[in-house]
Structure 1
Amino acid sequence: MELRKRQAKILQDLFEKKRISVDTILDEYGISKRTLYYDLNKINDWLSEDNFGMANIEDKEIVIEITNLASIEKQMHRGKEYYFSSEERRAIEFLFITLNSEKIVIDDLKNAFDVSRNTILSDLKSVKSEIEESGELKFCNSIKQGYYVTGDESALRKIIQEKINELKTPEGKAVLKIYMQNSLFSLTENEIDFYKLCICIIKQYELDIKNEYILSDMQTEGFMIQVSWIRSLKGYTIKLSDDEKNALTGTLSYRSVENSVEKMARCGIEMVQEEVYYLASMLLGIETTGFKTHREEERFIEKIADQFISNFERITCLVFYNRSKLRHELFHHLRALFYRMKYGTPSDNPLTRDIKQMYSFVFEATRRAIAEVGNNFMRDIPDTEIAYLCIYMVSNLDEKKVHQSAKYDGSILIVGPKNMAIATLIKEQIQNLLGDSFEYDVISLSRLKTRMLSEYVMVVLVDVPRGKVTGENVVETVSYLTRKISRRLWIYCRMRSCYPNTTTK
């Protein structure tokens, strides 16, 4: 007679350990006592055929007595099959369901693991409970589709990687490797060894970055590249934010993956663009976002913004008049900044030196405030990025509310982009140029009313599309005052007879 795989594995365990508790067997294999007794009877039938010995239960332990050690050892190693533990089996079942090329039903899993229908149902109940715990994924079953998982793809990929990492044995990894190869063949009708191709992508990455590959488990990354292929071919892709995409585009990792994907495309092996970003992030050795959902990402950035503002107020002993407005502005900037720092692609800022000189106190307070938010990516921000944050803080400290009443002749209005940062810097430059003979107001373009053009002696437009606002007293400038624009401002004031006689330096 032949033993089933589970029975053979139990016998192998008994042969190696001689004595195992009943509870240990029940927990490890996820079976009932009734099933265990059935298996022990089959094991004893097999042992009795050649007088190898007998297995009995004594004091809640299974004990084996062997009468012919050499013969049983030889027999057990003949055609030996591996039996998966309940944890490994459940992990593989989940991977089969999420990485299949056609629908998966109970009989498929039952035959794959040589276990009962009840065992598979128990496994799937456990899997369903685990993956639905976060509320982001749903484990489903239908006659048309079989078993499948719906929900946020980013959350699903994270669980897929966790399940791959749970495969600790060579047998488990071998089963997954074969299964994904078969799925990719069915989806692409290409007989290439996809796992080897994935390893080639990783090796090319090594050459491109001219360094030893930083990930400790190349096999897992090779598997995850295949996961990316299978899921995207089935229509499920990772949706990264535009901020993260922009940050990734500037990395060597992205360029390496992009070049590899272009080469494969010429050979008829396609990969969607969204997955190029995903793979670039993975090869950088950093989790895609660290967030299971986009809402989780938003809450994280909001928390950074709130902590940053609180830190700044504590350090400077100042309070922002319109905290919600500043928080909204910082949210969009900090999200982009977070990904730039995460992927090592900080932005340039030609005004950094000027900002540090003009707002030295605010600049240092900004540096301290962002460093104390408690996130590793935010601790070593370069001065170029600090300068941008500094302008946000200055603009919200200095911004004046525009009154409804008309202004007197000595007022100048600076109209800037929505975030006000550059407009505030322009205000300081104009103030240095023209002195304190005027009052200066700063507003965003969205708040500009037509009647305001006649209420100010001069309206300076900063980075506003040409021709959008016109008038005799309107002067257009870019994000910094050039010598030519500065002279135009000075001459304009002289012509309007609103500026005292002075000489230019």
Structure 2
Amino acid sequence: MSISYTLDKRCTEILNIVMYTTGYLKIQDLADDLEVSKRSVYYDISKINEWLIDNGIDPIIQERGKGIILHKEQVQAIQKTLNQTKSESILVFTPEERQRIEICTIIVRNHPLYIEDFMDTCQVSRNTIINDLKSVDTFLENYALQLTYNIKDGYRINGDIIKKRAVFFMLFPSLWHFYENHVIETFDAQKVYDILNTRKKIESELHAEYVSGILPALAVFLSTIQNRNDEISFSDMDEEEIIETNEYHLINKYFPNLKDHEKIYIALHLLGSRLQTIPVNVMKEEDKTYEFAKALVHEFERISYVFYDREEELINAINAHLKTSLYRFKYGIQLGNPMLNNIKTEYEELFELTKRACKILENDLDSLISDAEVAYLTLHFGAFMPTQKANKHAFRIMIICPNGIGTGNMLRQEVSTLVPQATEIKNIPLSSYRPNHDYDVVISTVMLANEQRLIMVHPILTDQDRVAILRNCMATEPQAKMQIDDILKIASNYINPDQLNDFHKNLQDYYSSIQVQKVPHKTYDRGLLDFLKGSHIQCVNSQVSWEEAIHISAQPLLDDGSISNDYVNAIINDQKNKGLYMFLADDLVLAHSAIENGVNRLDVSMCTFKEPVPFLNGQNARIILVLCAEDKTKHIHVLNDMLNIFSKKKSIDQIASLNSPAEIYSYIDKHIEK
């Protein structure tokens, strides 16, 4: 494979940022975002412009006082060039990408594979591949699989058939773009695309849309199926129910030579990866999904101290997700999540809380919930977070995101937070999109060639995406538009009509830029250490009752005016009357009550007790944390810090044994993940 290093990784990142930004982008903002100097950005842009000119595309424009910009025609030309090229711009694989390539290639191999094959595919040294394969072996151990080698057969992965397939479908979607752009040529490309076209016919006949990446993964899997003699049993599933589905009938129609168990297996993938919910019984435990969803939501609320106004709606959304996920958990049919890393980065706190809550689901199902699945559930929890009320001006936004219901809902929730003046924000399937709509703005994760009001974004919003949304919506929302129109009316008396359109555009750009000067970084506010200072940590040596312990622990918050006495009384009444014992772990209580019971602002206090405090449920507490939250999201960072520190019994024991607030603060400061 020949490799052309036309653009390095940072140049490609800059090019993508500029392509997905609506309006002008200041060099300083770009430098800040990439954490490099302005000089480095200028140097990278010069390299990008050389690449653009070499491919017959106009270079990036920089205008004094405004910044850099790529116009729509340039963006379309760049996308076309990248799609047609035989080698991708980013051609230096990360270690994780190499290891995923190695695993997926071995699982669906059609000939013996040796170190030299991986060296050729990944364009790295023998020692690098050897180290990769050690990491691969460690990774596979998590799934009770083993990497083996012999001189005749090369590298193989041994173990349960279902688990091997699960690993492939979990990992491959994140690699598809390498194969799609011919960066890697290890499969029969023509056969893969023939199968993919057939799968798209099935998608069309079912009037369905599928989670991004699942159809290519199935196409590659089917193109290599003749290499295997797998036998799969579905003992806990009603096979007759699956055989009656439209999915199975179409698989049987287009792939008649597949073995019956393979037809069922592929049909299960289609049922489980649709963006719409499929009301089909695929397991005997199907009727339990609502209870599983309810338990998961309640566990999330318990550990996050976020109580949803639309709780029942959230439970139903997760129930719908679980209805087509239970058999996947049972049979190891994994959905890869190409957005996993972005979700873990952009919604770190929510992801960690969701992962902790999923422990209850793992116990109920006796099955490991993968990070990819946790990420999808994270989007559901995030999508139902409270948002600001819209104002009375009519301003409608259409969202198109063919990456799953959870992703689309999370995108809608973020947009509603960014653009509170929007009176309607609606998710529309790509298949239902028509250019002749009456929405003010269209936010899409895919290119819409003829859309005049398009803001193109990533499925998980980047900071530049947020700026693009803000700038565009500020210039187009009704109140801003009225002001611009009034100025235009006055200006039309003094400006040549031929220049009025340019003046209009410049006015819109200016109006947006003065209101959005910096990238609005996402945050869930301050962490635990921002509050545990001075008198907010106490150590008590004498024996006290649980009511006294609550009063003592909450006193710093009362002294600072963060809460009123009503809040302390509400905590005690909850303990007595509602049975809310609030133990996060053995020896650890998180004392809290509802926001409306006397909270003035977000705050935290902590108290340790040398003599364990007996509570009404028979448990003893050596540490009491008092949390008061002013809304439903700002405390999430604090909560994650608490769970991070106090999830280990060793930490609870060590903190409880310390003798001063200074020692406790120092311990937390040293051991908290920053």
| The two structures share one fold, judged by TM-score above 0.5 | no
TM bucket (normalised to shorter chain) is: 0.3 to 0.5
Indicate the structure whose relative CO is greater, using CA pairs within 8 Å and at least 6 residues apart. 2
Q: TM-score, normalised by structure 1?
A: 0.39
Greater radius of gyration (CA): 1
Q: TM-score, normalised by structure 2?
A: 0.30
